[in-house]
A = this chain, B = another copy of it.
Amino acid sequence: MSLLTVGSVAFDAIETPFGKTDKIIGGAGTYIALAASFYENNQKIVSVVGEDFPQEMIDLIASKGVDVTGLQIKKGEKTFFWSGKYHNDMNSRDTLVTELNVLGDFDPIIPDSYQNSDYLLLGNLSPQVQRQVIERLEKRPKLIAMDTMNFWMDIAMDELKKTLAMVDVLIINDEEARQLSKEYSLVKASKVIRDMGPKYLIIKKGEHGALLFHANRVFFAPALPLDDVFDPTGAGDTFAGGFMGYIASTDDFSFENMKRGVIVGSALASFCVEKFGTDRLLEITKENINERIERFVQLADFDMLQTI
């Protein structure tokens, strides 16, 4: 099947307790495309970069089976740039610089060849842009998933709610779920949020794993206990990319298969945090991923006896 992703392709500069980077390649669309490429070889991306973005990186993304026709390159303009510094616990960070640049007036143009995409993943962008993409597709994809963040809840909650009403799967973290729902309990939050539109909700809890909610069902995916988290940047996008890449490639969005997708996304995210930026995603093989998925299986496996 085909997976259409809309998301930023950008520069990041990152500082963690383990070190810092110069400008490196980042952006939700980049992480999603790279992660999904391990499963789905028919991807399409809608995004925008400036003239300063390296062609080699676009070629690299394309080499992973991603159609880059919809990746606009704006002459004389600069690529989106974000810089942040993580605190010692790696669970919080300060944004040092945000330069919107080409993303400031991003018009998500859908190439004709992208029509009839089977699956759609809306990476974190303004809810207006996310909604425009849905509206510009002549045929509704089989499944629409989206990410968002607290920033849009702060400044564009009404717009966000309009977009939420149009999607099937929302993928956010626990803090965002609490802000969006105004409920502390994630069970209560999941009900409030699913009343806003998405029938499926994935709440990512970082080192504490992830929850998948649908109807009266819930799945608790473990996180792999790691010695260190080197750089969390992109882990959430990598999770989303792995999840939707798996769902699109299997063309199955039953609850049972979504659970598998959550494990695949968790496995990919556990690689992402091992090095700066996309470095680790560019090294690993499908065999590495399968080994790691087996560790997740072992980690969560137990077998209650009849005799209890």
- A residues sitting closer than 8 Å to B (CB atoms) are 39, 88-89, 184-188, 190, 205, 207-209, 211, 217-223, 225-228, 246, 250, 256, 259-260, 262-264, 290, 293, 297-305, 307-308
The complex places the Cα of A208 from the Cα of B225 at a distance, in Å, of: 13
B225:A222 contact, CB within 8 angstroms: no
Q: A205-B208, A209-B209, A246-B308 are in contact. Are A256 and B187 (CB under 8 A)?
A: no
Q: Which residues of B are found within 8 Å of A297, using beta-carbon distances?
A: 304
A221:B187 contact, CB within 8 angstroms: no
Q: Which residues of B are found within 8 Å of A219, using beta-carbon distances?
A: 299-302
B260:A185 contact, CB within 8 angstroms: no
Q: Smallest distance from the beta carbon of A207 to chain B beta carbons, Å? A: 8
A220:B222 contact, CB within 8 angstroms: yes
A293:B302 contact, CB within 8 angstroms: no
Q: List 20 A-B contacts (CB under 8 A).
A: A88-B184, A89-B184, A186-B207, A186-B225, A187-B225, A187-B227, A188-B228, A209-B209, A218-B225, A218-B299, A219-B301, A219-B302, A220-B299, A222-B222, A250-B307, A260-B302, A260-B303, A260-B304, A290-B308, A300-B302
Interface of chain A, helix or strand or loop or mixed? mixed
The complex places the Cα of A302 from the Cα of B218 at a distance, in Å, of: 12
Q: Which residues of B are found within 8 Å of A208, using beta-carbon distances?
A: 205, 208-209
Contacts A219-B301, A221-B302 given; 10 further ones with Cβ under 8 A?
Answer: A187-B225, A188-B228, A208-B209, A209-B209, A209-B222, A250-B307, A260-B305, A260-B308, A293-B308, A300-B300
The complex places the Cα of A246 from the Cα of B246 at a distance, in Å, of: 39
Q: Which residues of B are found within 8 Å of A226, using beta-carbon distances?
A: 185, 187
The complex places the Cα of A15 from the Cα of B18 at a distance, in Å, of: 42
Q: Smallest distance from the beta carbon of A258 to chain B beta carbons, Å? A: 10
Q: Which residues of B are found within 8 Å of A190, using beta-carbon distances?
A: 225
A303:B218 contact, CB within 8 angstroms: no
The complex places the Cα of A250 from the Cα of B218 at a distance, in Å, of: 30
CB nearest neighbor in B for A289: B308
Q: Which residues of B are found within 8 Å of A301, using beta-carbon distances?
A: 219, 259
B209:A225 contact, CB within 8 angstroms: no
Q: Which residues of B are found within 8 Å of A227, using beta-carbon distances?
A: 185, 187-188
Q: Smallest distance from the beta carbon of A140 to chain B beta carbons, Å? A: 27
Q: A185-B226, A187-B225, A225-B187 are in contact. Are A220 and B300 (CB under 8 A)?
A: yes
CB nearest neighbor in B for A206: B208
Q: Which residues of B are found within 8 Å of A307, using beta-carbon distances?
A: 250
A304:B308 contact, CB within 8 angstroms: no
